[in-house]
Structure 1
Amino acid sequence: MDHTNTLMQRARTKIVATVGPACREVEKLVQLIRAGVSVFRINTAHGTMEQRNQILADIRKAEAEVGWPVGVLVDLAGPKIRLGELFQDPTTCPPGAEFRFIKGDKPAAADEFTCTYTTLVSELQLGDTVMLADGTVSMVVVGKSADEVKCRVVGGGILRSRQGINLPGTKLSVASLTEADMTNAIWAAKNDIDFVSLSFVRSPVNVLLLKELLKAQGCNAMVIAKIEKREAMDQLTEVVAAADGVMVARGDLGVEIDVAEIAVSQKRIVRECQLQGKPVIVATQMLDSMHHNRRPTRAEATDVANAILDGADACMLSGETAIGEFPVEAVQMMSRIMLATEPLLWDKSYRTSEIQINATDVHPITAAAVRGSAVIVEQLGAKLLVVVTRGGGTCRIRSKQRDFVPTIGVSDSKSVLRRLSLYWGVTAIENAPVHDGPALRAYIDAWGRSQGIIQKGDRIVFVTGTNFYPMAQNLLVVHEAE
């Protein structure tokens, strides 16, 4: 089977899939890649280091089998605050009932709760809102002493041990990087991971601290800031500028802010990423019903389509692939929705090519060359745009133009090619002779013919560089297939 041809027929919007018990075997990972997955997510909130080592090894085996670069994203759990063990598990919380958060880790009565965040009792104040179990139970602080905080249930429900706690509006002193996060980040650095995402980002400083940690380990992984706190929304421009990419983490964000604001917040985040030329992933409950069903709801299908039209570079599947009953079908369905939606982008009103991208981390000559290449491609009716990239920045800016001329990314770095797996509309191919212009043009010419996308007389535009500007891509070449 010609796997590269399959790759060229994939959706331009990328799919990120979480690895879990439902898809850990190499054979299943291969099926997911061929169904449309470009990046696999390893969630460090679950499992052991030994299990993560095995998952990564299996992903690399699957990558080798399909024959094209596949990215890996390590998701740091962050300072997730959770309930301790409940005295009565589960505990029913009817509206109007009162419960107490106490210090320590062992409740002595059914109305006592403990917490993994040891200073919670000290930092909660009268009137603060406490959301539990992804917002299914809500309480308000009505009393406080030195050793406990009394809360009254506003929105009733059922709690279980170790479920999450969100504290919207409460200023916490918890560190952005936990000890476990630092251990997992160092593991990611030593294993040449492509993307590292940071949970519960509150300020650009959080992102920069993770970058420094990875840099100290000699790691060039892209840092993805997960937007799921009100503080991050309040400093959105600065957080996006500090990060290499962003994830719209709608699960916790929908608890930290009013759920009615989620759609608008998503559009704000995606738009800011477009303006700054950063890749953005939309995540959480995209095809949630496919945990147990072969088909999604109509609302879920619409959600995926709207994320694409908003300008998302990638959409993420979480439990659907990690623990769901139909992981391959979920990826296939997401790919079908993407392929059905993307033709709307032919309408220029849906494109981002007219947006003035302010990518301050990309050389201005490179940015100008990429803008010019889009004009040349359109005027000449070119069949391919080939980008030679050192670190991936040129392909990242190109991906934001959202036109339908296939973009091929080539590099002499395998890690760079893997990072291209997150960029909209960019296909990475290996083993291209990137340092020899004539040889590269001949290679792409032959490769395009073998895929049936290039014929005699077709034009191919190359964006590459010369030694005059070693840090910039300053050369555009038009090649006509003979």
Structure 2
Amino acid sequence: MAGDLRASRVSEGSGAAGDRGRCHGSRSPGDARGLRPAAGGSGAEGRDLRSRRPIAAGDREGGLASRRVRRGRPLARARGPRRDPSSDHPASGRGRLRIDHRRIGGGSGGGRCFVTGDQAARTAVVATVGPACADRDVLRRVVEAGAGVLRLNLSHGDLDGHLRMLALVRELETELGIPVAVMADLPGPKIRVDAADVEALAEGIELDVVEPGGVSGESSPTITIDASKVLDAVEPGHRILLDDGNIRLLAIRCADEEGGRRVRCAVTSGGDLRARVGVNLPDSDPDLPAVTPRDLEFAVAMRDAGVDLVAVSFVRHGDDLRRLRRALDDSSDGGRTPGLVAKIERPAAITHLEDVVEASDAVLVARGDLGVEMDIAEVPVIQKTVVAAAVRAGRPVIVATQMLQSMISQPSPTRAEATDAANAVLDGADALMLSGETAIGRHPVLAVATLRRIARRTEAWRDAGPHDHGQGSDGEVSGDPWLPAIARGAHRIAAELPVTAMVAWSQTGATALILSRGDLRVPLVVLTDDAAAARRMRLLQGVVPVPVDADLELGADRARFLDAAGRCLVERGIAKAGEECVFVHGSRREIGRPTDSVGVFSLLQDGEES
């Protein structure tokens, strides 16, 4: 584009034009950090906010001033009234904010700037890594198709193999110049069939289920499970489900023996019994920890390798997450703990849903085991309940399992699957997860592209309606008391003015998290000098993370920040000269209010009159 782009800026009084900042690909990863915001920077410790957006009123009066400046002039006329704090505002007497828009530095360039994903699709995609996409070229194309988070299923394979895959993802991240988050999914206390002396179970036959060390029956087939002390919770009349419920057993008699409990069962729904299939006890409540010693070993190894998120399986209550977080913190050498994702897949987690959500950094609706543990008719309602709870608490939420199941073998999903994915978007999910579709399917890249296309079309339909003024919550943010109000103001500006995008600075990811909550319908481009924070932002709805060099100090200099943000917007086609964007930034004048500014800036070419 001919000429130099110029952006407005807010400052406390400096009249000098800022130096040009450069956006670039991911820098060295550093250690992982959870989604819990930390105090300082432009982030905050609090997480219980979903910023609201009002119904568009089309009224510019009373909005924050936006000024456009032609080349060579320090200031120009504003298009709206100035909104400094009133005399009775808490900020009065401590330096009012002033709107001071100047042109950004002349000259060309600014370096390469990578903005990830398709700006029109705000819903993130989580793709499970497996044999179908383990090849470097295929995995690269999966990321390029729009997968912002890659899931490593630790229930399969070995730890060394997963660590090698994490290293490969980091290589691709640097090669592509875009942040990619990695989520390690812990196996949890999954009960599996360890051995069986029968391969096919016919309806009506009787068999015994025993624990490790149990003795096979002389007259009845015997299935040995791989967990001890779990059959103590089984009573006559309880169901035992094998292979995700494809084979169903009913307990008819229980006996305590020297080798453990023996449960005599009748087969109510038969089928072929495969090796190492899962076992579910939907009517029983065995005393199993959500995090086993093996899980903790995996979690520590993945944390040390720099994983971004750890998904915790079979969570029952918030203390399961708190214990794991404490164990990771206590064993750390000063590095940051990955964000903990609570997988909702047991009835106990639904009972303690608010506590589980509060203790988590993100929530995952695991519909596979949930549909086995509970009545299948309850799953759609539970999905909506969990998503709504996460939205209220300001937590990112993922909907998973069989999103596009038929694409494991077919090049197109069924109509029901497409509708299911669209409904998850309408429910308010931040991300949709592909499992077998990308892990073992024939069309892993196409599956990602198809899910993105469905999400994009669904979002476009939803955006045609009025804004949802009731979305989000008004929770306080520890360490940054102004941020909730500033976030609501930024959303109001984006709803009522014809802006193209929103840009923000986020040191820890907290500002990005809070701004992404609610009915935001423009791309949210977030600059950060923390590579780990940029990766975790890939899970947030509508957020486009842009890593920048730390030595540019964009968080401390608004002119440089707006310069870099404007160049990124234009170079990636999100905005063009003449368009206006919302910005959120902090002056760092006061530690107690790290985020203290919101406004509108314009992108102009050299020679254009204001």
Tell me the equivalent position of 1:18: 128
Which residue of the partner structure matches residue 170 of structure 1? Answer: 284
Give TM-score scaled by structure 2 length: 0.75
Residue 9 of structure 1: how far off its partner (Å):
3.7
The 5 Å alignment of 1:264-413 reads 264-348=381-465, 353-359=469-475, 363-413=480-530
Structure 1 residue identity aligned to 2:407: M
SS of the residue aligned with 1:84?
strand
Q: Distance in 1 between matches of 2:299 and 2:564?
A: 38
Moved more, 398-407 or 256-265: 398-407
Q: 1:285 deviation in Å?
A: 0.6
Contact 2:411 2:443 (8 Å CA) reproduced: yes
User: Offset at 1:3?
Assistant: 8.6
Q: Is the 8 A contact 1:304 1:315 kept in 2?
A: yes
C-alpha displacement of 1:157:
2.6
CA contact (8 A) 1:289 1:297 kept: yes
Higher relative contact order (CA 8 A, sep 6+): 2
Distance in 2, matches of 1:176 and 1:481, equals: 51
Structure 1 pair 352–394 and aligned structure 2 pair: CA distance change class (3 A):
farther
Q: Which residue of 2 aligns with 1:461?
A: 582
34, 44, 51: which one aligns with 2:154: 44
CA distance in 2, matches of 1:31, 1:455: 28
Q: Quick one: distance in 1 between partners of 2:509 and 2:371?
A: 32
In the alignment, structure 2 segments of 5+ residues that lack a partner are 1-111, 605-610
Amino acid corresponding to residue 295 of structure 2 in structure 1:
D
Report the secondary structure of 1:73's partner residue. strand
Q: Which residue of 2 aligns with 1:91?
A: 200
2:339 alignment counterpart: 222
Contact 1:107 1:113 in 2 (8 A): no
The alignment partner of 2:225 has SS state of coil
Which of 167, 173, 178 matches 1:63?
173
Match of 2:228 in 1: 118
Structure 1 vs Structure 2 CA RMSD = 2.0
- Amino acid across the alignment from 2:147: V
Map Cα deviations across residues 317-363 of structure 1 (whole Å, 9 max, x no partner). Answer: 111111111111111111111121110221456x6552241555664
Aligned 8 A contact 1:248 1:282 in 2: yes
Q: SS of the counterpart of 1:219?
A: coil
Q: TM-score, normalised by structure 1?
A: 0.94
Alignment partner, residue 263 of structure 2: 149
Alpha-carbon distance, 1:449 to partner: 2.5
Q: Shift of the alpha carbon at 1:370?
A: 0.7
Kept in 1, the 8 Å contact 2:126–2:432? The answer is yes
Residue in 2 that maps onto 1:101: 209
Aligned CA distance change for structure 1 residues 17 and 4 (closer, same or farther; 3 Å) = same
Q: Partner residue of 1:263?
A: 380
Alpha-carbon distance between aligned partners in 1 of 2:312 and 2:116, rounded to the nearest angstrom: 33
Task: Find 2:569's aligned residue among 429, 437, 448.
Answer: 448
Report the Cα offset of residue 32 of structure 1. Answer: 0.5
Letter in 2 for 1:476: V
Structure 1 residue 408, shift from structure 2 partner: 0.6
Name the SS for the 1:146 alignment partner: strand
Pick which of 404-413 and 221-230 moved more: 404-413
Matched residues in 1 for 2:115 and 2:326: separation? Answer: 39
In 2: Cα distance, 1:272 partner to 1:205 partner: 18
Give the counterpart letter for 1:165 in structure 2: V
1:189 to 296, 303, 307: 303
1:193–1:456 Cα change, 3 Å: same
Equivalenced residue count is: 478
Deviation at 1:470, TM superposition (A): 4.4
Alignment match of 1:79 (pick from 186, 189, 201): 189
SS in 1 for 2:252: strand
CA contact (8 A) 2:366 2:400 kept: yes
Distance in 2 between residues matched to 1:189 and 1:361, nearest whole Å: 27
Contact in 2 for aligned 1:4/1:68 (Cα 8 Å): yes
Residue 597 of structure 2 is matched in structure 1 by 475
Q: 1:112 to 1:359 in 2, by over 3 A?
A: farther
Q: Distance in 1 between matches of 2:403 and 2:538?
A: 20
Q: Please list every run of 5 or more consecutive structure 1 residues that lacks an aligned counterpart in the other structure.
A: none
Q: Shift of residue 114 of structure 1?
A: 0.9
